[in-house]
């Protein structure tokens, strides 16, 4: 059980080390006890949890400035953005929160309150992570990132070649985004802000896996800190995100050879690299609802980001949601009948509909 747990992407040694260091930073006996309770909860997987969640993903907006071929996003919605006061309402209900991913189905830097959110979380000693498509990383935004104290920024880079990148990322300009990253790096070094980690966030699928080594070389040239690669999540209604484009459609030996070469290159370049699993065997083995949860811009609670796809495509978010943190206290939501039923279903290998196609459950994340 222990070895299986530590092989999970969200429980890899890097993240366990981060969790321990964050708890040490707080130096709070109750927090330390809660850390132990979280670990026990992950291992025993009770339907009703006694621990306080330490990790959350909060969606600043569903709006985006790109129309990527592998994303279900198809339109912007006026007002579909979380307000700073709503963000405060969430954070204030979670006294033991240690990490947040301030990213959802849209581009977080479109939210005018994003830097107020980062600063508020940092006052609580919360580690803040974001993912961005990189288009909006202008000098003005980069300086505000540094001032607000963001801990980790992942920039979505799915190709090292401008023409293919444009095809995948909806006419985005790779060269301009790389220039933006280089400017941000210059600020990091100039201001000696070693606390900010910048990584490539790479979705791998059948059409770009052959570029993996080129992406690693680009990451090394641009001097980012790591490459975080994961498998494509199949979604209906998108150009690329279909089952036939997943890595599992390719020859297993080809994938293994590609990954082995990528690992050797990354090792030679001293570039930390995370690659997706390629087990091709459904695991039905998810720890997320004992560790993490996802809040949509309008307060709906879902178990994780991957569980947003089906509710969004069916336009039934309220029906699928486990609660709404703007309408009821988090303390009541985390052990309500829907949330406990969700945990029981996973424990009984009865996969909830919103989890269908999840690449954590199918072993390809």
**Does a structural domain hold residue 97?**
yes
**Does a structural domain hold residue 190?**
yes
Answering whether pTM is above 0.75, one says: yes
**Does a structural domain hold residue 362?**
no
How far is Cα 100 from Cα 288, in angstroms, rounded to an integer? 14
Contact status, residue 64 vs residue 51, Cβ threshold 8 Å: no
Q: Comparing C-alpha atoms, which of 24, 21, 55 is closest to residue 195?
A: 21
Question: 81 - beta bridge partners?
Answer: 61
**Does a structural domain hold residue 365?**
no
Contact status, residue 308 vs residue 294, Cβ threshold 8 Å: yes
**Does a structural domain hold residue 113?**
yes
How far is Cα 135 from Cα 78, in angstroms, rounded to an integer? 21
How far is Cα 62 from Cα 75, in angstroms, rounded to an integer? 9
For residue 38, the 8-state DSSP code is H
Task: Please provide the DSSP assignment of 55-89 as one string.
Answer: EEEE-SBS--S---TT-------TT-B--HHHHHH
**Does a structural domain hold residue 57?**
yes
**Does a structural domain hold residue 72?**
no
Question: 233 - beta bridge partners?
Answer: none
CA distances from 229 to 110, 118, 196 (A): 24, 25, 19
Q: Which domain holds residue 275?
A: 2-64+77-355
Question: 302 - beta bridge partners?
Answer: 294
Which strands make up the sheet holding 197-204, listed edge to edge?
273-274, 226-231, 197-204, 152-156, 127-132, 99-101, 55-58, 294-295, 301-302
What CATH number does the domain containing 193 carry?
3.20.20.70
Q: Comparing C-alpha atoms, which of 208, 186, 216, 184 is closest to residue 198?
A: 184
Between the two ends of the chain, the Cα-to-Cα distance in Å is: 19
Structurally, the chain folds into a number of domains equal to 1
Q: What is the pLDDT along the chain (365 residues), one digit of tens a residue?
A: 444 444 445 556 777 788 888 888 888 888 889 888 898 998 899 999 999 999 999 999 999 988 887 777 767 788 899 999 999 999 999 999 999 999 999 999 999 999 999 999 999 999 999 999 999 999 999 999 999 999 999 999 999 999 999 999 988 999 999 999 999 999 998 877 668 999 999 999 888 999 999 999 999 999 999 999 988 776 544 555 556 677 767 788 899 999 999 999 999 999 999 998 876 656 667 889 998 999 999 999 999 998 998 898 889 999 999 999 999 999 999 999 999 999 999 999 889 999 987 888 877 77
**How many Cβ atoms sit within 10 Å of the Cβ of residue 57?**
21
Based on the number of CB atoms within 10 Å of its own CB, is 27 exposed (0-12), middle (13-18) or buried (19 or more)? Answer: exposed
The enclosing H or E element of 164 equals helix 162-168
Structural Rg of the chain based on CA atoms: 20
Sign for the pseudo-dihedral over CA of 35, 39, 41, 42: positive
**Does a structural domain hold residue 206?**
yes
Q: Which positions ≥6 away from 225 have C-beta within 8 Å?
A: 197, 198, 199, 272
């Amino acid at each position: 059980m222990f070895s299986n747990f530590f092989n999970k992407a969200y429980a890899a040694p890097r993240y366990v080390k981060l969790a321990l260091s964050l708890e040490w930073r707080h130096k709070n006996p109750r927090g330390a006890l809660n850390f132990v309770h979280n670990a026990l909860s992950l291992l025993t997987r009770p339907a009703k949890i006694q621990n306080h969640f330490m990790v959350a993903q909060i969606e600043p907006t569903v709006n985006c400035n790109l129309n990527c071929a592998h994303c279900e996003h198809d339109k912007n919605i006026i007002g579909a953005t979380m307000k700073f006061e709503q963000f405060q309402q969430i954070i204030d209900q979670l006294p033991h929160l240690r990490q947040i991913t301030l990213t959802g189905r849209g581009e977080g830097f479109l939210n005018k309150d994003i830097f107020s959110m980062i600063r508020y979380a940092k006052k609580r000693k919360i580690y803040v992570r974001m993912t961005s498509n990189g288009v909006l990383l202008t000098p003005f935004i980069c300086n505000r990132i540094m001032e607000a104290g963001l801990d980790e920024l992942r920039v979505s880079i799915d190709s090292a070649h401008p023409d293919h990148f444009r095809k995948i990322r909806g006419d985005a300009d790779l060269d301009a985004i790389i220039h933006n990253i280089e400017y941000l790096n210059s600020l990091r070094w100039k201001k000696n802000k070693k606390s900010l980690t910048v990584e490539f966030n790479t979705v791998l699928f059948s059409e770009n896996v052959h570029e993996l080594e080129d992406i690693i070389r680009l990451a090394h040239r641009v001097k980012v800190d790591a490459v975080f690669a994961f498998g494509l999540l199949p979604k209906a209604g998108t150009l690329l995100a279909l089952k036939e484009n997943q890595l599992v459609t390719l020859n297993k030996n080809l994938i293994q050879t590609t990954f082995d070469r990528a690992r050797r290159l990354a090792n030679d370049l001293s570039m930390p690299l995370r690659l997706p699993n390629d087990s091709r065997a459904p695991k039905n083995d998810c720890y997320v609802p004992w560790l993490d949860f996802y809040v949509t811009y309008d307060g709906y609670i879902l178990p994780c980001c991957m569980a947003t796809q089906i509710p969004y495509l069916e336009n039934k978010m309220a029906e699928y949601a486990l609660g709404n943190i703007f309408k009821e206290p988090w303390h009541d939501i985390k052990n309500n009948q829907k949330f406990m039923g969700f945990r029981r279903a996973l424990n009984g290998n009865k996969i909830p509909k919103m989890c269908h196609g999840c690449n954590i459950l199918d072993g390809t994340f």
